Structure formats: C-alpha cells, structure tokens
C-alpha cells in the first residue's frame, strides 16, 4: 500500500455573487491535499471564518522584460547604442496580478513559466508583490516568456514579445485545481497573451459559477473567438485594439462610441476603453457612457504597464462596491502613478499612494 501524506492549507471560497454590484458573501474553505507515491489530489471543505474578502484571480502571461533605453527607435538597417539595459518582471497577467495585490486585495495568479532564470525572476517579483502563486506552473521544456522593451526618452515604448511558456505547454484541459480557484473568485481577469482556448475555458468556468470576467484585449491581434466573447462581462481595449476588434475607426469619441456599440452587438455588455492621455470611458449597453479624464503625471518615465494598472485597479474598485464613476477615478489615479516609474510590474502602485492622489483631486 502506498504511504499517504495529508496537509492542510486555508484559502477562500466564494459562492454568492451579485453581478450588478459585485458584492459577495465570503465563505472560506480548507484545502485538504493528499499525496501518494503516484498521485496528488485535493478535497475542498467548508470552513466558517469570514475574515478575508473574495480573491481576484488573474489568469495570464508572465514575462521577463529586457529594457533598453534609447533616444529614438532605430531606422531600418540602423544599429543604435542603448543608454542602458535592465531586466525586469512583466507580462500583462503578472502586471495585473501585482497591481491587484499591491492595492491590498487578495490575489491569485494562474500562469506558466519555464524552469530557468527568467522564471525565477518573474515568480520572485510576483511573490514579493503579495501575489499567491499556488497555481503557477513551471514547464520544464519551454522557456519563460520574455519581451524586449525599447523605451524612448519621452516615456513611450515599443515592445516585441516572445511567448515561451505563455503560449506553449498548456494542457488541452485545464486542471480542476485551476477551475476550482476560478469558481471561488470575486472577479477574474484575462488578457490575450495566452492561448484563446485557455481563456475560453476559464471564462466558461467563471460564468458557470456566477463570477464576472474582465478581458483585457491587449496581446494577440487575431479576431476574438465567439466561444470566449460569450462569457466576457467587461471587455477592456485601448482605442487601437477597439478598432482592430470591430474593424471601425476610433479617431474621435463619437467613433469610439459606435465601435463600442459594435462590441455590444458581439455580445459584450460593458466595454471599458482606455484612451491614454485622453482618459477613459465605460460603455454599458443601454446606458449613457461614463467618461473619465486622465489624471496627469508631472513626469512620464515609462508607459509600459499603464493599461494593465488601469484594468486591474478598476476591477479592485468594482469588487469593493464602488460606483462605476468611482472605479474609473480610482483606476485613473493608479495609472497616473504607474507611468512615473520604469518597468511594468515594478511600477504598480500601492493603495495608499492611489488614495493620496484621489484625496488631492
């Protein structure tokens, strides 16, 4: 007979969701983990200590970002010397998870890294940001995703992504442990730097459990599959991504509003559009758009991760029961802080700093 080892750990399970306000009933559970010589499996048990709010669950990418600081982009065939270079943690999923955790909300991350130095860098950064990594998978046969970020002196950037473990090595069917965690969330955040079929499985599991889903449209530039869109509650593109999704112009606010209507026709009830220095707007089907001006930073150092900060901060405010207008203001303040620091994950602001900005407005 195989020997049996039993361990106990506690995390939160949440079964009551009200989609209109996103208030939830906290129902913590215990995770009872069994390990034999050949198998690992887990039994979830109800507990009764309502001490923590429902977690935000982020499913997505984790990258090592190779930063090069340059005065301008090179011309075709030209070689430029960078002023400096640095390796920092990033990836849209890791950015959003770090932001949520630093804003003092319990946060779990589901993703993949390789068994390499890049993976150690990313997992260390997530852990130091307060993100729970129980569901981070190390894929030995695939390198960690990484990106080259060309940062210009005006704070604007151009990015080239190598997918690595973000795009390869995922199981055809996600483990039950991942889907159990999704079903316990207050809200789930997705992006398009991992395969659409992974996002679709997560989104469907969330819908089945009554958990709202936010899909950041950044990442792959292919069409959004209906099997994913059908389970998305809030779609969050910038104006360029909105134009790509709808095939419509987005140069003016009127055009953006028309493109948002097209998203409603595709089945998405809420469209959260990030407009950079022009602010943001939330389009809820059947309601008047809500606009939020940008909160400008005194100095823009690096815009990398600003959109991820905005989306994650909006989600945090939403699950805390703030009004939609308050959510937009909270997200704008967080994005303002993000662009003042170099790096994606390192630039995610803490809650006190965001509240300080809002109190000065």
325 is in an annotated binding site: no
- Give the whole-angstrom CA distance, residue 123 versus residue 117: 10
CB 149 within 8 A of CB 304: yes
274 is in an annotated binding site: yes
308 is annotated as an active-site residue: yes
- Give the whole-angstrom CA distance, residue 337 versus residue 328: 15
94 is in an annotated binding site: yes
| Cβ neighbours for 358, distance < 8 A, ≥ 6 positions apart | 329, 330, 333
275 is in an annotated binding site: yes
Which tokens in the block code for residue 3? 């020997």
302 is in an annotated binding site: yes
Q: Please provide residue 146's backbone torsions phi and psi, each rounded to the nearest 5 degrees.
A: -150, 165
65 is in an annotated binding site: yes
Considering the candidates 115, 180, 308, 350, report the single residue annotated as catalytic: 308
176 is in an annotated binding site: no
Question: How far apart, in Å, are the Cα atoms of 117 and each of 94, 114, 282, 334?
Answer: 16, 8, 40, 30
Question: How far apart, in Å, are the Cα atoms of 299 and each of 58, 330, 336, 338?
Answer: 30, 19, 10, 11
User: Edge-to-edge strands of the sheet including 213-219?
Assistant: 132-139, 107-114, 56-59, 187-192, 213-219, 234-236, 270-274, 280-284, 290-292
239 is in an annotated binding site: no
166 is in an annotated binding site: no
- Give the whole-angstrom CA distance, residue 350 versus residue 100: 9
107 is in an annotated binding site: no
76 is in an annotated binding site: no
Catalogue the active-site residues. Answer: 308
The annotation places the binding site for K(+) at: 302, 304, 338, 341, 343, 347
Please report, in range form, the residues annotated as the binding site for substrate.
63-65, 91-95, 193, 308
Annotated binding site: 63-65, 91-95, 193, 238, 274-279, 302, 304, 307-308, 338, 341, 343, 347
Write out the binding residues for ATP: 238, 274-279, 307-308
């Amino acid at each position: 007979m195989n020997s049996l080892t039993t361990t106990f750990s506690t995390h939160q399970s949440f079964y009551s969701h009200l989609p209109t306000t996103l208030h939830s009933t906290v129902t913590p559970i215990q995770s009872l983990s069994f390990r034999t010589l050949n198998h690992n499996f887990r039994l979830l048990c109800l507990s009764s200590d309502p001490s923590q709010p429902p977690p935000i669950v982020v499913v997505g990418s984790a990258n090592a970002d190779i930063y090069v600081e340059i005065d301008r982009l090179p011309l075709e065939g030209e070689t430029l010397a960078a002023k400096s270079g640095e390796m920092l943690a990033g990836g849209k999923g890791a950015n959003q998870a770090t932001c949520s955790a630093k804003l003092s909300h319990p946060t779990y991350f589901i993703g993949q890294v390789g068994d390499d130095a890049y993976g150690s860098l990313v997992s260390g950064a997530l852990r130091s940001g307060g993100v729970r990594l129980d569901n981070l998978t190390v894929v030995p046969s695939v390198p960690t995703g990484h990106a080259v970020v060309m940062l210009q002196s005006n704070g604007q950037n151009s990015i080239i992504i190598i997918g690595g473990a973000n795009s390869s090595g995922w199981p055809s069917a996600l483990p039950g442990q991942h889907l159990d965690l999704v079903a316990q969330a207050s809200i789930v955040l997705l992006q398009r730097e991992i395969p659409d079929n992974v996002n679709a499985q997560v989104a469907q599991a969330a819908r089945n459990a009554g958990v709202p889903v936010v899909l950041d449209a950044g990442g792959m530039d292919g069409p959004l599959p209906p099997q994913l869109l059908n389970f998305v509650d809030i779609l969050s593109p910038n104006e360029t991504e909105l134009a790509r999704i709808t095939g419509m112009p987005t140069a003016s606010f009127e055009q953006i509003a028309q493109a948002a209507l097209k998203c409603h026709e595709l089945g998405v009830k809420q469209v959260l559009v990030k407009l950079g220095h022009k602010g943001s707007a939330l389009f809820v089907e059947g309601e008047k758009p809500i606009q939020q001006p940008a909160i400008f930073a005194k100095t823009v150092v690096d815009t990398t991760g600003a959109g991820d900060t905005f989306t994650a901060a909006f989600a945090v405010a939403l699950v805390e029961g703030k009004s939609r207008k308050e959510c937009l203001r909270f997200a704008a303040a967080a994005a303002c802080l993000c662009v003042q620091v170099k790096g994606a994950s390192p630039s995610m602001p803490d809650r006190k700093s965001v509240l300080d900005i809002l109190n000065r407005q």
